[in-house]
Amino acid sequence: MIRGIRGATTVKQDSEDEVVKATEHLLREIVERNQLQPEDVSHIWFTLTEDLVSAFPAKATRRLTGWDFVPVMCAQEIPVPNSLARCIRIMVTAETSLKQIEVEHVYHNEAVQLRPDLQLTKKDSSR
């Protein structure tokens, strides 16, 4: 079955190092929790809020061994008034045997407030 696996994190400031490191940390946890292999991943979408312009978060994918050929794309989030600032979101589309309820979406830092309903049944991923 093809599933979408979501994740999000926030950074304290807009710097290339912070954006890429936070994205890498989030992506590694999504991969680990959902037992993903690169050959099972169709593609990954990354979005950033308009206040993050220092780096492409997709660059973090290339830090994972064996993920060189996974297609990645970055885009800017819709600038909704009063939305969460300095936020990076990820959507991994992958083939998996996990049932939809078994998929572990991962939210770090201030992004845990985006889906508090998921935090009730999943391990605490705020760091």
Please say if 62 is a catalytic residue.
yes
Q: Which of 69, 18, 9 is nearest to 39 (CA)?
A: 69
| Assigned token pair, 89 | 């979101």
* Catalytic residue of the set 33, 87, 104, 107: 107
Beta strand 106-107 pairing with 2-10: parallel
* Catalytic residue of the set 29, 33, 89, 104: 89
* Catalytic residue of the set 39, 50, 62, 95: 62
Please say if 86 is a catalytic residue.
no
Please say if 63 is a catalytic residue.
no
* Catalytic residue of the set 18, 24, 28, 74: 74
* Catalytic residue of the set 18, 24, 28, 115: 115
Please say if 127 is a catalytic residue.
no
Can you give the length of the chain in residues? 127
Rounded CA gap, 10 and 48, in Å? Answer: 9
* Catalytic residue of the set 3, 18, 24, 77: 77
Please say if 74 is a catalytic residue.
yes
| Contacting residues for 15 by C-beta, under 8 A, at least 6 apart | 54, 55
* Catalytic residue of the set 6, 29, 33, 86: 6
Could you list the active site residues?
6, 62, 74, 77, 89, 107, 115
